[in-house]
């Protein structure tokens, strides 16, 4: 197993003492200088850490190559997605062996055509491989085709800082039009096929705050500023309703929303407010036959469904269609001409009810629930662009079932498998098992845990155990198939996903129970899961690893401080570990909007609570697990200096000889490498670290 002893000497960052007093507490930050990206000493230090990581991992080079080859063997490199119809075309994407990125394509076809019958000439809508030539990074932001099918508006980021440039392509000729805008978020066409609405971010705070209207052929300097969001807690986004009749402008904080609408065929008309914002109330509207259907949490945290006429959309005119239920989170309502698909989460699992509309009146008719066959799974809506349809597409996968696309026949009630992602390389689904269990937290709350293992390698209390967690923003931890993780399962690891409080796995109340002044529940939940899994024989004590990223990296930092004895190794991706210094700096991107998730440290009680768990501030002279901490220089969400400072400080305090590694991707952002082959190499490094530290190799 790796250790500091016998390896290259780790770099030591210079200490430049800095302290400040906040609410009577002295905060010491000797590594604040690492924020100075333009200071030559900063990239020099990051390069030194990368060199040390490479030296410390030198003994795993062959293993990394083996893991990479294994993972690649489980990917069908040349493949095609399930086509979907939109207007007079069927759209799809394809990948080709040796190419890093997708190519988006289309063929002409009508409603009566079947996917297999599409024999027309392929048109290239957008080739990301061509756009990536000469770039070290490429990410697609948005792409949307005009109603007549002639023009494509799309945005790309070629640095990783999530700043996207908007361009427009004429799909008839392949010509790039002169249209260009910077720092663009959401984009939507009006029905005239020549008017674009797009949102723009504030360059300093990376908050989408302005909506512009652009007419093709005019200079972008002449674009009309339609709306500006003044409240720093809110971001804006713009989109079309499913029936394409309305454009919706949404202002949203983490806990509050407000929406305005515009007829899509009248881009110069005045915007109409649906309902004024009310603190702690979210609502989301869609349109059908002159009425809005609105999912709202005004009478309970788990949302209800109401409807109101377009002429009088305010909350005083809302009529209830689906009531709020404490036991079911109403996550989404997919609206169509003759039915709606109601997405609920009950006991941590998703359920989909398809409910008919007996007519244009706002009443619901007969319903069916789509059956799902496994104890642990993930589903989400697939692309459903046709409003007047009798079919509904959804995507299904589980920890042992590859990603699959189904089409549900609303009238008959049956579903057809359109495609399951092929997994070459000898994968046999029957060799693996998955399970959902519940573990009691210290306060008695039952925390769901999803598990997967290879059946013939399960050994009571003998397997190495890997546990993943996130637990923030009400985000429900997905439990989908990942062919790369076969390399862990086939080496005998039991994999566990801890659905801790702070996520949305058990509804809005589950989120509330793990944020603000109850955030510590996320950490104690995770540690309780770890202890219980070892006690129940899912893993061997001393052979337990944990992994998380971003807000899940905060989770990793907190559990390492609270119970370092539980873990042999931790992998932490772009971790949010410098909670106090970040949240006390409102000039940083995302800080002010994040007050609703973590708390406002300008308030003494919130400050002291956040300080009690901030990983950077609670590092101490003790033994820690082996750690691989990963970041990216161009991360716009968790700045690179947070993990860099964390590692620099931890090196001076840890009393063990276990390895501590910092790896910085110097050409990427929050999600790491953008190319699919490059990303596999990053995973191979993670797994090599994990397997070595757990004594598997």
Catalytic residue among 499, 670, 674, 686: 670
Tokens standing for residue 148: 């007549």
Q: Which of 654, 643, 581, 575 is nearest to 611 (CA)?
A: 581
Strands 544-549 and 465-469: parallel
Query: Is 456 tagged catalytic?
Result: no
Query: What string of DSSP letters covers 523-574?
Result: HHHHHHHHHHHHHTTSS-TT-EEEEEETHHHHHHHHHHHH-GGG-SEEEEES
Residue owning tokens 């309305």: 246
> Two tokens at 66?
């083996």
Nearest alpha carbon to residue 233 among 259, 199, 210, 207: 207
CA separation (Å) from 87 to 91, 148, 168, 374, 693?
10, 8, 19, 36, 54
**DSSP-derived 3-state class of residue 188:** strand
CB 358 within 8 A of CB 321: no
420/405 Cα distance (integer angstroms): 6
Distances (CA, A) of 254 to 474, 475, 541, 593: 9, 11, 39, 7
CB 108 within 8 A of CB 408: no
**How does 555-583 read in b/e, with b if 16+ C-beta sit within 10 Å?**
bbbbbbbbbbebbbbbbbbbbbbbbbbbb
Torsion angle of C-alpha atoms 673, 677, 683, 684, degrees rounded to 10: -140
For helices 61-73 and 676-693, what crossing angle results, to 10°? Answer: 130
Q: Is 26 exposed, middle or buried (0-12, 13-18, 19+ CB in 10 A)?
A: exposed
Half-sphere exposure of 306 (CA within 13 A, CB side): 23
Integer Cα distance of 657 and 654 in angstroms: 8
Strands (E), 134-207: 139-145, 151-157, 165-170, 176-181, 184-189, 195-201
Cα–Cα dist 321/312, whole Å: 17
- C-alpha closest to that of 662 among 672, 671, 651, 673: 651
Catalytic residue list contains 635: yes
Contacts of 218 (CB under 8 A, 6+ apart): none
Residue that has been written with the tokens 């427009």 in this structure = 168
| Catalytic one of 157, 223, 505, 635 | 635
Q: How many CB atoms lie within 10 A of CB 603?
A: 12
**What CA–CA distance (Å, rounded) separates 484 from 75?**
9
The yes-or-no answer on residue 550 being catalytic is: yes
Burial 300-319 (b: 16+ CB within 10 A, else e): bbbbbbbbbebeebebeebe
Backbone angles phi, psi at 122, to 5 degrees: -75, 135
Among the options 81, 522, 550, 636, which is catalytic? Answer: 550
Closest of 45, 163, 8, 201 to residue 641, by C-alpha: 45
Q: Where in the sequence numbering do the catalytic residues fall?
A: 550, 635, 670
């Amino acid at each position: 197993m790796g250790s500091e002893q016998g390896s290259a000497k780790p770099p030591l960052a210079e200490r430049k003492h800095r302290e400040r007093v906040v609410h009577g507490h002295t905060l010491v930050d000797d590594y604040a200088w690492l924020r100075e990206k333009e200071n030559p000493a900063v990239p020099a230090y990051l390069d030194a850490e990368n060199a040390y990581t490479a030296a410390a991992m030198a003994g795993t080079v062959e293993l990394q190559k083996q893991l990479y080859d294994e993972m690649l063997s489980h990917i069908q490199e040349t493949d095609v997605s399930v086509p979907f119809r939109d207007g007079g075309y069927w759209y799809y994407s394809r990948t080709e062996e040796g190419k890093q990125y997708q190519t988006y394509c289309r063929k002409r076809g009508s409603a009566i055509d079947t996917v297999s019958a599409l024999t027309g000439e392929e048109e290239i809508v957008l080739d990301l491989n061509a756009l990536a030539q000469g770039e070290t990074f490429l990410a697609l932001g948005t792409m949307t085709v005009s109603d007549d099918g002639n023009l494509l508006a799309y945005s790309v980021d070629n640095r990783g800082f999530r700043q996207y440039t908007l361009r427009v392509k004429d799909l008839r000729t392949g010509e790039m039009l002169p249209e260009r805008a910077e720092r663009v978020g959401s984009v939507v066409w009006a029905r005239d096929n020549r008017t674009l609405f797009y949102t723009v971010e504030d360059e300093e705070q990376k908050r989408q705050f302005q909506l512009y209207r652009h007419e093709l052929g005019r200079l972008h300097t002449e674009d009309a500023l339609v709306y500006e969001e003044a409240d720093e807690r809110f971001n804006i986004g713009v989109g079309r309703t499913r029936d394409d009749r309305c454009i919706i402008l949404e202002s949203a904080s983490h806990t509050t929303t407000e929406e305005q609408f515009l007829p899509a065929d009248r881009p110069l008309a005045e915007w109409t407010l649906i309902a004024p914002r009310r603190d702690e109330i979210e609502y989301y509207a869609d349109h059908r036959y002159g009425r809005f259907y609105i999912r709202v949490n005004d009478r309970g945290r788990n949302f209800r469904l109401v409807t109101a006429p377009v002429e009088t959309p305010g909350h005083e005119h809302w009529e209830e269609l689906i009531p709020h239920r404490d036991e079911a989170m109403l996550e989404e309502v997919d609206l169509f001409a003759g039915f709606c698909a109601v997405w609920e989460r009950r006991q941590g699992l998703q359920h989909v009810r398809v409910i008919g509309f007996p007519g244009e009146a706002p009443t619901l008719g007969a319903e069916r629930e789509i059956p799902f066959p496994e104890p642990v799974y993930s589903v989400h809506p697939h692309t459903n662009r046709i409003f007047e349809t009798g079919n509904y597409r959804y995507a299904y996968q589980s920890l042992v079932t590859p990603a699959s696309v189904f089409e549900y026949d609303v009238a008959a009630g049956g579903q057809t498998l359109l495609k399951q992602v092929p997994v070459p390389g000898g994968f046999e689904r029957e060799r693996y098992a998955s399970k959902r269990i519940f573990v009691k937290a210290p306060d008695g709350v039952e925390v769901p845990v999803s598990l997967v293992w290879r059946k013939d390698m399960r050994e009571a209390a003998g397997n190495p155990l890997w546990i993943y967690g996130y637990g923030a923003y009400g985000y429900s931890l997905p439990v989908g198939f990942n062919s790369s993780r076969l390399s862990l399962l086939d080496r005998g690891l039991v994999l566990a996903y801890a659905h801790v409080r702070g996520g949305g796995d058990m509804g809005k109340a589950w989120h509330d129970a793990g944020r603000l002044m109850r955030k510590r529940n996320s950490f104690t939940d995770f540690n309780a899961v770890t202890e219980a899994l070892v006690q129940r024989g899912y893993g061997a004590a001393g052979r337990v690893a944990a992994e998380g990223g971003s807000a899940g990296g905060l989770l990793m930092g907190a559990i390492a401080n609270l119970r370092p004895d539980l873990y042999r190794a931790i992998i932490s991706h772009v971790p949010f570990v410098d909670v106090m210094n970040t949240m006390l700096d409102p000039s940083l991107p995302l800080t002010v909007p994040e007050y609703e998730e973590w708390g406002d440290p300008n308030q003494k009680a919130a400050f002291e609570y956040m300080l009690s768990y901030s990983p950077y501030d609670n590092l101490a002279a003790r033994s820690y697990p082996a750690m691989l901490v990963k970041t990216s220089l161009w991360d716009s969400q968790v700045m690179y200096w947070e993990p860099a400072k964390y590692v620099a400080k931890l090196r001076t305090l840890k009393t063990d000889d276990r390895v501590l590694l910092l790896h910085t991707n110097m050409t990427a952002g929050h999600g790491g490498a953008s190319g699919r082959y490059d990303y596999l190499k990053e995973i191979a490094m993670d797994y090599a670290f994990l397997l070595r530290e757990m004594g598997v190799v």
